[in-house]
Amino acid sequence: PAKDIAFPDSVVSMLRGDLGQSPGGWPPALQKKALKGEKSITVRPGSLLKPADLKASRKDIETKLERKL
């Protein structure tokens, strides 16, 4: 409908693709209404994350714990 609907953040996140894509996708009209012009994620969400620097994380933890791991 032409009526403005306030979607919960969790629903917007789901329709944006933050949790991945549903088989067959979401109804385009619903997705457009919920995202209000925001682009949806069309790839695996994890592929958008930067690689973890495990060596730096380990060093940081060792510094905080004041001992080697």
Number of domains in the chain: 1
The pTM score is: 0.69
% of the chain residues with pLDDT over 70: 99
pLDDT for residue 6 is more than 90: yes
Residue 1 lies in a domain: no
Residue 2 lies in a domain: no
Question: Could you write out the three-class secondary structure of the chain?
Answer: CCCCCCCCHHHHHHHHCCCCCCCCCCCHHHHHHHHCCCCCCCCCHHHHCCCCCHHHHHHHHHHHHCCCC
Residue 4 lies in a domain: no
Residue 29 lies in a domain: yes
Domain span including residue 42? 9-65
Write the pLDDT tens digit of every residue in 12-40.
999 999 999 999 999 999 999 999 999 99
| pLDDT of 3 | 83
Residue 53 lies in a domain: yes
Residue 3 lies in a domain: no
Residue 57 lies in a domain: yes
